[in-house]
Amino acid sequence: MTLSSTARRTLAVLTAAVLVLIYLPLLVVVLNSVNPNQSMTWPIEGVTFEWWRRAADSAGVREALATSLQVAAIATGIALVLGTLLALALQRYSFFGKHSVNLLVILPIALPGVVTGIALNNGFRGILGIDLSLWTIVIAHATFCIVTVFNNVQARLRRMGTSLEEASADLGAGVFTTFRLVTLPQLRSALLAGGMLAFALSFDEIIVTTFTAGGGANTLPIWILNNMFRPNQAPVVNVVAVVLILFSIVPVWLAQRLSSDVEAAR
């Protein structure tokens, strides 16, 4: 197909316009973090670091951040173990009900967020009769994080084949030794990618979290949601948002490094 140069140019302009539209709101948030006007009117008249100072001093932000990190770390740990086990089972064996298991793993993120949220809320409170707490958030997050680890590990297992593992077994290594010395090292970057995705997913999750968070446990997204509507807290929320935007560059950078490592190794 030969595209006319007009068509090419139109497509390029469209793409550029959408990219601008994608980044513009984020840029506005970044600039507003130094906006002296509390109601963040545009354009900005002057520069202040008052909001940054207030955010740094805020105990609420610090506590919420600690809770979020804790939840994300534990949920990611659980997801790494369960997701890897599941990927090994589904990729290396065939058994009755395999497709159902596959579907079951995807379900928590395929179903709309409110459904997963209310199902777990009802399960914890209505059926089991336990109070919502930090641990109910962890359980909920781990449940929908398994799929990211599972996907990454399964894709890696498929590509890696079984010849090295078979060679190891033929040379007399036991099941565990083969896993530790042959399978695991090959899975390392897949585990890192899956774990990073799971961590980010948990760190950012708000819908299921609102249904499973106990009174005392506020994750950072919940803190943001609660403070966004308070006029004198909104600029602090804005600063937290900027920090989160800056943080979100880290995984992208890491992923790029990882994939270029893979390409270099080929």
Q: Which stretches within the chain are classed as H helix?
A: 5-32, 50-57, 59-92, 98-110, 113-121, 134-160, 163-170, 175-178, 184-204, 207-212, 220-228, 234-265
Q: Is 101 helix (H, G, I), strand (E, B) or coil?
A: helix
Using CB under 8 A, which residues numbered 46 to 75 contact other proteins?
A: none
Q: Over the Cα atoms of the chain, what is R_g?
A: 23
Using CB under 8 A, which residues numbered 134 to 153 contact other proteins?
A: 139, 142-143, 146
Using CB under 8 A, which residues numbered 181 to 240 contact other proteins?
A: 181-182, 200, 203-204, 206-207, 210-211, 221, 224-225, 228, 237-238
DSSP assignment of 25-55 = HHHHHHHHTT-SSTT--SS--S---HHHHHH
Least separation in angstroms between CB 249 and other proteins: 7
Indicate the residue among 22 and 47 with the shorter CB distance to other proteins.
22
Indicate the residue among 170 and 266 with the shorter CB distance to other proteins.
170
Taking the alpha carbons of 158, 163, 164, 168 in that order, is the dihedral positive or negative? Answer: positive
Using CB under 8 A, which residues numbered 20 to 49 contact other proteins?
A: 21-26, 28-29, 32, 39-43
Indicate the residue among 14 and 66 with the shorter CB distance to other proteins.
14
248 binds other proteins (CB under 8 A): yes
Task: For residue 260, give Cα distances in angstroms to 79, 101, 257.
Answer: 26, 33, 5
Least separation in angstroms between CB 133 and other proteins: 15
What is the rounded distance in angstroms from the CA atom of residue 55 to the CA atom of residue 33? 10
Using CB under 8 A, which residues numbered 77 to 116 contact other proteins?
A: 78, 81-83, 85-86, 88-89, 93, 95, 101, 104-105, 107-108, 110-116
Q: Which residues have CB under 8 Å from 85's CB, separation 6+?
A: none
Least separation in angstroms between CB 162 and other proteins: 8
Q: Which residues have CB under 8 Å from 3's CB, separation 6+?
A: 11
130 binds other proteins (CB under 8 A): no
Least separation in angstroms between CB 188 and other proteins: 16
Stretch near other proteins under the rule CB under 8 A, chosen from 55-63, 118-126, 152-160, 186-194: 118-126
What single-letter DSSP state applies at residue 131? P
Indicate the residue among 56 and 101 with the shorter CB distance to other proteins.
101
* Greatest Cα pair distance in the chain: 73
Least separation in angstroms between CB 59 and other proteins: 20
